Amino acid sequence: MKNTNFLSISDFSEADLTHILDTAITLKKELRAGGNKPILQGKSMALIFQKPSLRTRVSFEMGMHQLGGYAFYLSPDEIGLGKREAVKDVAQVLAGFVDAIMARVFQHQHLVELAEYSKLPVINGLSDYSHPCQAMADALTIIEEFGTMKGINIAYIGDGNNVAVSLMEIAAKLGANFAIANPAGYDIPQTDIERARMFAGVSGSQLRFSNDPFESVKGANVIYTDTWISMGQEAETEKRVQIFKDYQVNQGLVDAAAKDVIVMHCLPSHRGQEITDEVQDGPRSRVFPQAHNRLHAQKGVMACLLADM
């Protein structure tokens, strides 16, 4: 995997994803035992942001630091990706300065262009299509809780957005069963569903699609939700709150799942909308360990792309 891109979960085999996760687990144990070896010493990464971030920026900066490398933040105003300067020009300029690029963008095509023209490893920190780093942290959290992804029942409640796509893909790749409940018209795109069905055919994963949250959480070991209003959708807030009001992860929904269920959220959350305080702060919540695992999962990605891991 060295010098490859990390743009989508669908680009990687089960063996590749398992190797990255195993590397993340190893690096997490090593960090807690006293510190990581500087396997990325001399390596640098440009962090391009079109969208604001807490977890993505801090986890990548700290991850590179802990592995001996250097990462630096480039704000939207500094680059104006695709506006002030063409994406392909930004890519070719950065190629002469750094060893890798992480980008958090609105349009997935900008990531594709950065990879094409820079010839550097490009990591998707979030795009309108997918959020693969989040999915890796999600899988790491589930594995730490249950010991495996195989046969684990994951129920996603809410919008069929980029987070849902990547979660579905990693579940299908690693043999977890994936169910989603969303309002009509807010489905995961059909092309992504068909692709995931192909992955599930190999791994044995089962995929279910519904408009009923209580149906989807039956037997669920994991309940997962995300904000109803993503960045760029603020004008739809009032409309979305009404449409999604029956898709709240509350204690009643948690009680309808398996007794060992854990609750996950990629954050930031809108408490009182998609999730209640009682659940997010409750004993079944793994929201903050999940957030912390962004650091460890991404270190696994960086180690596999930039070092001989």
286 labelled catalytic: no
Dihedral class, residue 154 (left if φ above 0, else alpha if ψ from -120 to 50, else beta): beta
Amino acid at 107: Q
What is the phi/psi pair of residue 227, to 5°?
-55, 150
Decide: 295 and 289 in contact? Cβ < 8 Å.
no
Which one of the listed residues 50, 66, 134, 273 is annotated catalytic? 134
Decide: 240 and 209 in contact? Cβ < 8 Å.
no
266 labelled catalytic: yes
108 labelled catalytic: no
Which one of the listed residues 55, 265, 284, 294 is annotated catalytic? 294
Among residues 176, 187, 244, the alpha carbon closest in space to that of 210 is found at 187
Which one of the listed residues 55, 104, 110, 296 is annotated catalytic? 104
226 labelled catalytic: yes
Strand-by-strand arrangement of the 177-181 sheet = 207-210, 177-181, 153-157, 222-225, 262-265
Which one of the listed residues 226, 248, 280, 284 is annotated catalytic? 226
CA distance 235 to 231: 10
Which one of the listed residues 55, 159, 266, 298 is annotated catalytic? 266
50 labelled catalytic: no
Tokens 């169910």 belong to 179
304 labelled catalytic: no
Among residues 175, 141, 180, 144, the alpha carbon closest in space to that of 159 is found at 180
Which one of the listed residues 50, 66, 99, 131 is annotated catalytic? 131
Distance from chain centroid for Cα 59: 13
- Give catalytic residues, as residue numbers: 104, 131, 134, 226, 266, 294
